[in-house]
Amino acid sequence: MLRRASLQFVVFSSSAVTAVGRMILLACTALFLGACATGPKWAFDVRDVPPLKLDGQIYTYDQEGSLADDPEILMVTEEMRDFVELYTGESNNAHNKLMALHRAIKGQGALAMQYDPFADGTARDAFERGTANCLSYAHMFTALAREAGLNAQYQWMEVRPEWHRMGDRVAVRLHVNVQVKMRDTTEYMVDIDPLNRNEVAGARLMSDAEGFALYYNNRAMNALAVDRPVIAWQQLVRGLEEAPGLSQLWVNLGAIYRYAGQYAEAEQAYFHALEIDGSDRSAMNNLVVLYELQGRGKEQHYWEDRLERYRSLNPYYHASLGDVAMEEKDWEQAYEHFARATKMQPDDGLLIYSQGLAAHELGNDEEAERLISQAIERASFQVEKQRYRVQLKIIREQQAAAL
């Protein structure tokens, strides 16, 4: 039986807390984990979103419209323009502008931007407040970089699925940052709270509309967290106007319907999320919860089986079991789990490296050398390559000392 929370949301902000951001060169490989979806087919029109029925009231799209107090998410104020001019105006070189802007934002003598996982808002909000989470920082940096004449875009960082111990429960975490591309095609990734390399499963550029949709998504989840479901529903509908193709928004919309006791509408929203992304674990898990609430055992068990099959076909699930085995010093089990993971995802240098470490602990240094050499070839970041080379050198020195 799956262990699960009563409500599962998808919120776009990083969970690890660091003081200030760093800038690193982008070199990520995107992964695409697909599956087939079942359920009703919708020709999307935001006016077709089912109304919210709560406390004897009915809230419809026609009543709420697009919300008159629509914020300008990337609006640049006069103060922000002056800031950009002060720190980048003397340079005509895009690379120098980017570095100067980044130093001014994070530097203690300038904006001194600090990380706060709860600091949502627009570009202006983050700039004036001096704190931001990953999404509000992305809004602010995109706006300031474009004001400086740089080619800045939102970027979606896919975080590896996390299973707690034996994989019974999935933690969904998503992350957004900014990509700045130079004329020579060099790409920089700007982030207030960078992920560790072993957390990244892929990356893709996002449209402004998707970035705006995530802003409304977070506003919706914040409203629901303080028991304001009507505002949450309004904000999610507004987000869907911007980017109806984001499955996570449909999952969260379904959670609001379930909160209101509108189980049929919740089911419809979860299915629509799966039409968009057939591997959306959160949608599957929410269907399990919904069917359990309704006593629909057949459907509940079907989606529990789907989750189990998806998990068993995911390389990072097997990697998580390998991590557990390593902690317990069960090197044979660790090697087997990482071997299965690398077979599923043969281009992931970190998985290959982990398998090599297990081989070394088992005394098979020839196999360890082969695997770690492969990991060096396939590593995305120079810091990874260097770490793997150091370990390979240690293994070879140990071999030489044993002769």
| pLDDT, tens digit, 9 for 90 and up, residues 349-375 | 989 999 999 999 999 999 999 999 999
Taking residues 315-344, what's their average pLDDT? Answer: 93
* Pair of tokens at residue 191: 């982030």
Higher pLDDT, 196 or 4: 196
Same domain, 189 and 336: no
Amino acid at 82: D
Q: Kindly state the percentage of the chain with pLDDT values over 90.
A: 61
Number of domains in the chain: 2
Amino acid 34: pLDDT: 26
With a CB cutoff of 8 Å and minimum separation 6, the contacts of 94 are: 149, 150, 182, 183
Answer for the pair 43, 49: CB distance below 8 angstroms, yes or no. no
CA distances to 54, 205, 275 from 240, rounded to whole Å, are: 21, 19, 15
Per-residue model confidence (pLDDT) at position 317: 86
Closest to 290 (Cα-Cα) out of 253, 268, 263: 263
Interval 114-127 mean pLDDT? 94
Domain boundary among 313, 339, 354: 313
Q: Are residues 224 and 350 in the same domain?
A: no
Q: What is the mean pLDDT of the chain?
A: 83
Supply the pLDDT for residue 44.
59
Q: pLDDT tens across 72-89, in order?
A: 999 999 999 999 999 998
Within 23-88, where are the H helices?
Answer: 61-64, 78-88
Model confidence at 48: pLDDT above 70: yes
pTM here?
0.77
- Map 238-275 to HEC letters: HHHHHCCCCHHHHHHHHHHHHHCCCHHHHHHHHHHHHH
Please report the pLDDT score of residue 371 as a whole number: 97
| 305 plus 340 within the same structural domain | no
What kind and span of H or E run contains 341? helix 331-344
How many H helices and E strands in the chain?
16, 11
Q: Is the pLDDT of residue 166 over 60?
A: no
Q: Give the H or E element holding residue 53.
A: strand 52-54
Between 15-19, 50-54, 278-282, 299-303, the lowest mean confidence (pLDDT) is in 15-19
Q: What pLDDT is recorded for position 66?
A: 52
| Confidence grade of residue 228 (pLDDT, cut at 50, 70, 90) | very high
* Residue predicted with more confidence, 104 or 161: 104
What average pLDDT does range 283-298 have in this prediction?
A: 95
Same domain, 200 and 337: no
272: CATH:
1.25.40.10
Q: What local confidence, expressed as pLDDT, does residue 403 receive?
A: 74
Same domain, 319 and 304: no
Crossing angle for the helix pair 349-361 and 315-327, to the nearest 10 degrees: 30
Q: Are 180 and 152 in contact (CB under 8 A)?
A: yes
Please tell me whether residues 98 and 210 are part of one structural domain. yes
User: Are 366 and 305 found together in one domain?
Assistant: no
Give how far the C-alpha of residue 222 lies from the chain's centroid of Cα atoms, to the nearest Å: 18
Structure tokens at 169: 């429960």
Angle at 23 between CA 220 and CA 203, to 5 degrees: 55
**Residue 298, domain extent:** 1-313
Q: Are residues 53 and 101 in the same domain?
A: yes
- Per-residue pLDDT for 98 more than 50? yes
Q: Output the pLDDT for position 9.
A: 44
pLDDT at position 273, please?
94
Residue 119 predicted with pLDDT over 90: yes
User: Nearest to residue 319, comparing CAs of 303, 297, 339?
Assistant: 339
Residue 40: DSSP 8-state: -
Same domain, 279 and 388: no
In a 13 Å sphere around the CA of 172, the CA atoms on its Cβ side amount to 20
pLDDT bracket for residue 70 (50, 70, 90)? low
Q: Quick check: 215 pLDDT over 50?
A: yes
Residues 268 and 368 in one domain: no
How far apart CA 144 and CA 147 sit, in angstroms, is 5
Check whether 12 has a pLDDT greater than 70: no
Q: Which helix (H) or strand (E) holds 145?
A: helix 134-147
Query: Are residues 87 and 173 both part of a single domain?
Result: yes
Alpha carbon 219 to chain centroid, angstroms? 17
More confident residue, 104 or 197: 104
pLDDT at res. 15 = 35
Structure tokens of 38? Answer: 């079942």
Query: Do 115 and 264 fall into the same domain?
Result: yes
* Listed residues 313, 335, 366: the one ending a domain: 313
Q: Of 248, 282, 313, which residue constitutes the final position of a domain? A: 313
More confident residue, 51 or 14: 51
